[in-house]
Amino acid sequence: MIRFSILAALAVLLSNTPAPAQHMDKNMFLEIATLGDAEQKGLLTVYLRGVLNGLEASNMESLRQGLPQIFCPPSETLPTSAWLTEVLLQYLERYSAIPSKLSIAVIAHHALAEHFPCKKLINN
């Protein structure tokens, strides 16, 4: 029920905004993460949870197909939205040349791959 309520609230909020505003890029993420009010940060949390769910699903599908995974967190670690926000802020500080209009989901993909690299098997 809570999940449905959150999705309904997001649908209402996003339906009243122009299409370009529905894409969260680097600039929008930085603005909300550093200067946003409680409501904006709440929506950021929901958005980043969706990004994490998508990346985790991609990881599982890669594993199922025998392909390399995107990232490999330790089994006792479950990345959260708050954790991802901190990782993204550090990543964007380290790589300040990342284009401003690049999707935060794409940046999260690379940040997670760097933070939780997977072991490479060497075949002889």
Angle of the 38-64 helix axis to the 26-35 helix axis, nearest 10:
130
Residue 72 main-chain phi, psi, to 5 deg? -135, 80
Q: In the block, which residue shows the tokens 């940060």?
A: 41
Phi (first) and psi of residue 25, to 5 degrees: -100, -175
**Using one digit for the tens of pLDDT, what is the confidence trace for 46-68?**
999 999 999 999 999 998 999 99
Q: What pTM does this model have?
A: 0.76
Q: Can you read off the two tokens belonging to residue 53?
A: 């769910």
The stretch 59-85 carries a mean pLDDT of 88
Domain ranges of the chain: 23-115
Task: Count CB-CB contacts under 10 A for residue 64.
Answer: 8
| 23-115 topology per CATH | 10k-s Protein, Hypothetical Protein A; Chain A (1.10.890)
